[in-house]
Amino acid sequence: MMITFDNSYLRELPGSYLRLAPDVAPDPKVLVLNADLAAELGLSVSDAAGWFSGARLPEGADPAALAYAGHQFGGFSPQLGDGRAHLLGEFLGPDARRWDLQLKGSGRTPFSRGGDGKAALGPMLREYLISEAMAALRIPTTRSLAVVTTGERILRDQGLVTGAVLARVAASHIRVGSFQFFSARGEVEKLRALMHYTMARHYPQAEDPLAFFAAVAQAQARLIAQWMGVGFVHGVMNTDNMALSGETIDYGPCAFMEAYAPGTVFSSIDRQGRYAYANQPLILGWNLARLLETLLPFIDADPERALDLANAALEGIAGTYRVAFLAVMREKLGLAGEAAGDGSLIDDFLTAIEGVDWTLAHRRLAAAVTDEAGYLALFDNRAAITAWLPRWRARLRADAAEALLAVNPAVIARNHLVEAALQAAEAGDLSDFNALLAAVRNPFGPEAGREGFVLPSPKGAADYVTYCGT
One DSSP character per residue, 266-319 reads -BTT-TT-TT-GGGHHHHHHHHHHHHHHHHHHHH-SSHHHHHHHHHHHHHTHHH
The whole-number pLDDT of residue 115 equals 87
209-230 and 188-202 helices, crossing angle to 10°: 60
Ranges of the chain with pLDDT below 50: 1
The catalytic residue among 23, 100, 240, 357 is: 240
Nearest to 247 by CA among 213, 223, 216: 223
What pLDDT digit, counting tens, does each position of 30-69 carry? 999 999 999 999 998 889 999 999 999 999 999 999 999 9
What is the rounded distance in angstroms from the CA atom of residue 249 to the CA atom of residue 234?
9
The whole-number pLDDT of residue 461 equals 65
What pLDDT digit, counting tens, does each position of 273-309 carry? 899 999 999 999 999 999 999 999 999 999 999 999 9
Ramachandran angles phi, psi of 260, nearest 5°: -70, 115
| Structural contact between residues 51 and 45, judged by C-beta atoms closer than 8 angstroms | yes
209-230 and 280-299 helices, crossing angle to 10°: 170
Nearest to 17 by CA among 147, 236, 227, 178: 178
The whole-number pLDDT of residue 1 equals 43
| Structural contact between residues 431 and 422, judged by C-beta atoms closer than 8 angstroms | no
Q: How many CB atoms lie within 10 A of CB 309?
A: 18
Q: How many CB atoms lie within 10 A of CB 468?
A: 13
| Structural contact between residues 115 and 217, judged by C-beta atoms closer than 8 angstroms | no
The whole-number pLDDT of residue 271 equals 82
- pTM over 0.75? The answer is yes
Q: How far is CA 51 from CA 22, 46, 144, 168, 258, in A?
A: 10, 9, 14, 12, 38
Known catalytic residue at 348? no
What is the rounded distance in angstroms from the CA atom of residue 183 to the CA atom of residue 185?
5
Q: How many CB atoms lie within 10 A of CB 323?
A: 13
Q: How many CB atoms lie within 10 A of CB 321?
A: 24
What is the rounded distance in angstroms from the CA atom of residue 393 to the CA atom of residue 378?
18
The whole-number pLDDT of residue 158 equals 84
What pLDDT digit, counting tens, does each position of 372-414 carry? 999 999 999 999 999 999 999 999 999 999 999 999 999 999 9
